[in-house]
Amino acid sequence: MFHELRFAIRTLLKSPTFTLVAVLTLALGIGANTAIFSVVNSVLLHALPYPQAGRMVLVLENAKGFGEMATAYPNFLDWAAQNKVFESQAVIREDSFTLTGVGEPEHIRAIKASAGIFSTIRARPSMGRAFLRDDDRRGAGGVVILTDGLWKRRFGADPSVIGRSLRLDQKPYTVIGVMPSGFRMPMMACDLLIPVGLDADMGRWSHYLTSVARLKPGVSMAQAHSNLDGISQTLQRQYPDSNGGWSLQVQSLQGYINDQVGTALLVLLGAVGLVLLIACANIANLLLARATTRRREFAIRAALGASRSRVVRQMLTESVLLALIGGGIGLLVASWGIDFLVSLKPADFPLAETIHLDSSMLLFTLAVSIATGLIFGITPAFESWRLNLNESLKEGGRTAGTCSRHALRKALVVCEIALSLVLSIGAGLLIKSFINVTKVHPGFRVENVLTMELTLPKAAYSDDIKTAAFYDRLLENAKHLPGINAAGAASNLPLSNMNWETGFYIEGQPKPARASDLQYAEASVVAGDYFQAMGMRLVRGRFFSGKDQRDTPKVMIIDENLAAKYWPNQDPVGKRLFIIGGSLREVVGVVGHIKYTGLDRDTRVEVFTPFTQMPYRDMYLTFRTSADPAAMSAAISNAVHALDKDLALYDVRTMQQLVSRSLSMRRFSVLLLVIFAGLALLLAAVGIYGVMAYSVAQRSHEMGIRMALGARAADVRGLVVRQAMRLAFIGVVIGLSTAFALTRVMSSLLFGVTATDPPVFTGISVLLVVVALLASYVPARRATRVDPIVALRYE
Amino acid sequence: MTNGSTPLIHLEAVTKVFVTDEVETHALAGIHMDIAKGEYVSIAGPSGCGKSTLLAILGLLDTPSDGTYILNGKAVSGLKMHERARIRNREIGFIFQAFNLIGDLTVYENVELPLTYRGTPGSERKKLVHEALEKVGMSHRVKHYPSQLSGGQQQRVAVARALVGSPSVLLADEPTGNLDSANGDAVMDLMRELHRNGATIVMVTHDPRYARFADRGIHLFDGRIVDEKVEAV
């Protein structure tokens, strides 16, 4: 083996250009695979950084006609007390506060969690203690647990922080613990933890919490389903109003993450795997060409007594050595690639912080490198097995066996074309989907809108009058700022990942007996000139105005979809509907439908209530500006601080940024697939070029004969190009049928385009044929320069 | 030197100089030669005397460094590549020492090749190919590949390919060089038969036995014609 290795090193050093090209191709292929696999490994295979994470589940409530929804706190308390399948369970919710009392006010992210969260995720504070049951109830003294990051950043890693006081939204809290560095909550990021029970909404209509639980050892998902099903039926009987037609479901936490990004990541992994296969085919081609020139060497070795298996071993040693060098450099490529991927990743990409190169990735790279070396080395190695010694020694390895080797090289190129076509069609479908999504009109004018979030602390704005007065004055002042055309606010903003649904029924229809029989709508509370600021279309009636006050009749605005659904061919203005947990409201206007949860998602019908009749402390401010909206943020911040200097504005974004963020996962997949498809096309072009150039060199004698018989340059050029086109055609046919079967797996990633979209399939096929044409043109031109005299060996 | 009519081939002061680095090699040094239509000329001489260079120039595979070449009444020494290819296809038939059949094509396809380049319609091509193969006695091997034939048979196919387009002249470069004596004799008999039927043949050969088959023998030495005699047939 040592002898083979030494000779392999010498052989590779003797052909530095070949070695460099092969190593770089492999480094790119293996590096890209390692980078993507690192993401898959971190997010899909070892996603959850918790002990025995396989037992962690999400508990979802499900109402017939509504689908999955968040948990209502009283429901949680009931199933937590009654179930026999969970070792522990908890509810969590993202929230935000303005932190004061420790330096400058700062807007911070918090998670409100029930006391069971620590046993559920099996995490303990590194200092102090976890929440106790007594902390997690109404009337308890406010306590918080800091994350390591906040403790270091705002408390200078003070070891005596336990017991210190801080103010969140101007309410006092005591620090009781600090979580260790590296601590992560499932699916959410935060700076500190607060018990959810302090001020939990006790309404069974209020579904706003995420439930996580840990199965008892040995309990299956089916058993958990069955147990929770029994509990949900009991609750339906006990609370038919709120829980009628409602059920509980269990989903593994890993499964939930897989649903979010699994398909996209697996498509990318498949794509990058195809790139590596194409790279392998290219290098196998290079090795086959080299083996031709080395036939005499192999023949001499065999003549001197080397067994055929020894010759094969020598060839495989060389190819695996090449792959290992490529893999080593591939690790560097992977390290850069991971940085690149993380920089591109969507804002809400799950567990992005866990993506890194680790020892398992080193093993992966080693395994892929060895496998790659064997894959591209096996064909040339076994070609040497079929060596005809006598012919090879006699003819110096110039001609014998050329046909079969050439057929192999052509077959490899056909494979490359087919694989590139599959990959490019995948990329084409995603690009078309992306274009389709960007063409979707969101229902509002995206340009020149500035948005930001503002939370009024409960302590200072304890009642609706103070809250309403603040927003009234703020929006009135902002409206007169230079550059602001309209100022408004809403409780939730389209594409902001924050949406609220409300149940309702139409006046005159019987009140549904069960919660699941209600209709649901996206609901927003809006203030000031929100509709004008967003550029929404008034279809009928009017926008809210100064007439709509706290003590005037309750009004609402609905969207055109709701109007069309319930009052087709009628004027909905003046009709009334009953909002669950609210009151009967009269429709005063109809606006255009807007996309709330994503440009590529269908949303429910929409209802808007005036802020004056339902004041809300957490609002998204929205401003239509006459110039660059981002430039207005300082002026608006000043306007806010002129009214209350302790308020912090956060998540300042233009609407264009929000639209862009909503497309980020799609953009991420498209960009990567386009890069991989481009790489595949390039490798396929190099492959076609290589085979045609080799073929022209091998056939220079034939070209000479043809020219002697009167072939013109165009005839010779056509001969070469036709040969390449034949390969391209076979590759395209195989690639099309493969793509036809494979693109279905990415159906869930597509929008407005089928998995077998004829224009994409046709367009990409034509593109590939053009690439093949260009790649074969240079060798074809070279063929016309064959000197017939030289080719025919005149003196 | 000619039979008095307008020569099919007229060479006047043709020279060929190969320049490599600083060395100039005079392969041909002032060749004057006329070949009449229907004539059978053999060219002989030692290795390196310029036989194959002369044949390459006659076959428009190469251009003279200087001098005039008139083929069938047309000056051809200064033609462009594509014009030379066209004349080669229509006026000249090649027979090589190494046969130079294309291994991936059948006997039929090899013979058909010059007609394909000429753009001859398919039905006519078929007729001409079969006629040419009949002439050389190879019509029973149309679907064979060159590797399935003996050397003699391959050379017969090569002759058929040279004949198929009815060229003005057949240029044969050592046509028996790769054959045993029996096959060599058979090919030479075939050439003589073609000549009797009116073909113009220019043949390079080392073998004095076969040189005598020609009407006229030209002897080259150091790129010059040093001897020229009419054979008694």
CATH at residue B55: 3.40.50.300
Helix (H) or strand (E) holding A110: strand A106-113
End-to-end CA distance of chain A: 47
A700-708 and A664-698 helices cross at what angle (nearest 10)? Answer: 60
Burial class (CB in 10 A: 0-12, 13-18, 19+), B22: exposed
Is A248 within a domain? no
- Strand segments (E) across A626-678: 649-654
Q: Is residue A322 part of a domain?
A: yes
Mutation to test the A interface, candidates B62, B71, B117, B147, most A Cβ within 10 Å: B117
Indicate if A382 and A507 belong to the same structural domain: no
**In this structure, are A688 and A635 located in the same domain?**
no
Q: For B210-227, give one letter per residue: b (16+ CB within 10 A) or e.
A: bbebbbbbbbbeebbbee
Q: Quick check: B89 and A709 CB within 8 A? A: yes
Which pLDDT score, from 0 to 100, does residue B233 have? 45
pLDDT of residue A151: 93
Residue A179: HSE in the Cβ half-sphere, 13 Å Cα cutoff: 23
Residue B29 belongs to some domain of the structure: no
Out of A708, A789, A794, closest to residue B88 by CB: A708
Q: What distance lies between CA A556 and its chain's CA centroid?
A: 37
Smallest CA–CA distance, residue B69 to chain A, in Å, is: 18
Count: domains in chain A: 3
Question: Please, which residues bridge with residue B172 across strands?
Answer: B95, B203
A334 within some domain: yes
A455: Cβ contacts below 8 Å, ≥ 6 apart = A96, A97, A98, A107, A169, A617, A618, A647
Distance of CA A534 to the CA centre of its chain: 28
Residue B233 distance to chain A (closest CA, Å) = 30
Mean pLDDT of B62-80: 91
Please name the member of B47, B59, B100 whose beta carbon is closest to the beta carbon of A705: B100
Q: Which of A72, A195, A203, A209 is nearest to A134 (CA)?
A: A195
Residue A236 near residue A244 (C-beta atoms within 8 A): yes
Does any domain span residue A236? no
Pair A556, A424 in one domain: no
Cα–Cα distance between B179 and A198 in angstroms, integer? 106
Looking at the structure, tell me whether residues A178 and A318 fall in a common domain. Answer: no
Q: Is the Cβ of B177 closer than 8 Å to some Cβ of chain A?
A: no
**Based on the domain organization, do A698 and A776 belong to the same domain?**
yes
Residue B96: its chain A contacts at CB < 8 A? 792
Does residue A417 share a domain with residue A498?
no
pLDDT computed for residue A795 by the predictor: 35
Share in percent of chain A as helix, strand, coil (round to 5)? 55, 20, 30
The pLDDT of residue A277:
87
Q: Are residues A103 and A135 in the same domain?
A: yes
The answer to whether residue B136 is domain-embedded is yes
Whether the predicted pLDDT of B2 surpasses 50: no
CB pairs under 8 A between A and B: 67
- Alpha carbons B45 and A795: distance in angstroms, whole number: 13
Amino acid at A468: A
Residue of A nearest to B104 (CA): A403
Residues A283 and A330 in one domain: yes
Is A239 among the domain residues? no
Short-list A592, A590, A599, CA closest to A655? A599
CB of B168 closer than 8 Å to CB of B71: yes
A706 inside 8 A of chain B by CB:
yes
Phi, psi of A42 (to 5 degrees): -75, -40
Does B23 map to a domain?
no
Q: Residue B53: how many CA atoms within 13 Å on its side-chain side?
A: 26
Which of A707, A792, A794 comes nearest B85 by C-beta?
A707
Is A183 a domain residue?
yes
B113: contact with A, CB 8 A cutoff: yes
Which of these, A226, A97, A113, lies nearest to A166 by C-alpha position? A97
- The DSSP H or E segment spanning A250 is strand A246-252
Find all residues with CB under 8 Å of B212, minimum gap 6, and list them: B231
**Opening angle at CA A645, ends A640 and A650, nearest 5:** 55
Distance CA B48, CA B148 (A): 34
Is B98 near chain A, with CB under 8 Å?
A: yes
Query: What are residue B42's DSSP bridge partners?
Result: B203, B217
CB crowding A335-363: b at 16 or more within 10 Å, else e: bebbeebbeebbeebbbeebbebeeebee
**Cα(A260)–Cα(A262) distance, integer angstroms:** 6
How many domains, in total, are found in chain B?
A: 1
A623 & A685 share domain: no
Q: How many CB atoms lie within 10 A of CB A109?
A: 16
Interface contact A716, partner B, CB < 8 A: no
**DSSP SS3 for A780:** helix
B62 touches chain A (CB under 8 A): yes
Whether B12 is covered by a domain: the verdict is: no
Identify the domain boundary among A189, A219, A249.
A219
What does the pLDDT read at residue A303? Answer: 64
- Residue B90 lies inside a defined structural domain of this protein: yes
Q: Is the dihedral of CA A268, A269, A271, A275 positive or negative?
A: positive
Angstrom distance (rounded) from CA B214 to CA B232: 9
Residue numbers of B between 64 and 83 with CB closer than 8 Å to A: 81-82
Please answer yes or no on whether B118 and A710 come within 8 Å at the CB atom. Answer: yes
- Does A391 reside within a domain? yes
For residues B133 and B121, give the distance between their C-alpha atoms in angstroms, rounded to a whole number: 18
- CA dihedral A215→A221→A223→A225, nearest 10 degrees, is 100
A712 touching B (Cβ < 8 Å): yes
Enter the tokens of residue A77: 């308390």
Distance CA A33, CA A276 (A): 8
Tell me which of A619, A646, A673 is where a domain ends: A646
**A50, part of any domain:** no
**Low-confidence residues of chain A, pLDDT below 70?**
1, 46-47, 64-67, 299-307, 347-348, 350-353, 384-405, 515-516, 793-795
In terms of domains, do A415 and A288 share one? Answer: yes
The parent domain of residue B101 ranges over 37-61+79-230
Residues in Cβ contact with A510 at an 8 Å cutoff, skipping those fewer than 6 apart: none
DSSP codes, chain B: ---SS--SEEEEEEEEEEEETTEEEEEEEEEEEEE-TT-EEEEE-STTSSHHHHHHHHTTSS--SEEEEEETTEE-TT--HHHHHHHHHHHEEEE-TT----TTS-HHHHHHHHHHHHT--HHHHHHHHHHHHHHTT-GGGTT--GGGS-HHHHHHHHHHHHHTT--SEEEEESTTTTS-HHHHHHHHHHHHHHHHTT--EEEE-S-HHHHTTSSEEEEEETTEEEEEEE---
The reply to whether B5 falls in a domain is: no
Residue of A nearest to B86 (CA): A710
Q: Does A518 lie in the same domain as A613?
A: yes
B34-44 pLDDT tens trace: 999 999 999 99
Measured in Å, how far apart are chain B's first and last C-alpha atoms?
A: 16
Return the SS3 of A551: coil
In a domain, residue B191? The reply is yes
CB A623 within 8 A of CB A533: yes
The parent domain of residue A608 ranges over 457-646
